Amino acid sequence: MIINRHTGKSFNHIFCLIILIYYCWHTTVNANDYPQYISYISENDIYSPKSQDRHYTNGIRIGFGINLKSDVWEVVKNIFNKNSELTYRQEAAFGHNIYTPENYISKDLQNNDRPYAGWLYSEISTIVNTKDYEESLSISLELVGPGALGEQIQKLNHSIIVDPKPLGWGNQLSKVLIILALQSLAYNTNY
């Protein structure tokens, strides 16, 4: 792989993000605990019969069941109802998504279509389950733009599967660092 000046900067951003993820992981997870489960999600338009790069073209997510340190867990439990019928679990996840316009082999900016974008993220979630609902609280650190390496990953994938090289990455979204807190609630409607 050839690393040019711009790619090197992207790798520096990724390296800093990995260090931050490791620090967050290390400060919230017991050192002697191990993952209770591992989940893996891979999404790619090559899996579909038409196999066309456009819009949401690729995604990968790896999740790990974790045990929070007891002092962190006590704070998290206070956010949710302390009902004894609740079951709790925690998850740490890392993921990467790629978005492209429909005509990905054009160098031109396509104003009426989805922009090129790479999205790299890490998150820690607490999920509460009952027989009636599931509630989750997540905190994530996200990076959009050149530092998320969408261009490099898509070009590598296309060289492996011998697909036309995407040419419009010069029009991708600018670098944005996002810290996101999200709470969701889903009810079981099977009565």
Per-residue DSSP letters for 126-169? EEEE-SSEEEEEEEEEEEESGGGTHHHHHHHHHHHHT-PPP--G
pLDDT at residue 19 is higher than 50: yes
Tens digits of residue pLDDT in 139-188: 999 999 999 999 998 898 888 888 888 899 999 999 999 999 999 999 98
Model pLDDT, residue 134: 86
Model pLDDT, residue 79: 67
What is the token pair recorded at 117? Answer: 């974008």
pTM above 0.75, yes or no: no
User: Between residues 50 and 94, which one has the greater pLDDT?
Assistant: 94
The rounded mean pLDDT for the chain is 78
Percent of the chain's residues with pLDDT above 70: 68
Percent of the chain's residues with pLDDT above 90: 27
Which of 54, 161, 65 is CA-nearest to residue 110? 54
Amino acid at 120: L
pLDDT at residue 11 is higher than 70: no
**Domain map of the chain by residue range?**
5-133+147-187
Angle formed at CA 40 by CA 42 and CA 50, multiple of 5 degrees: 15
Model pLDDT, residue 98: 92
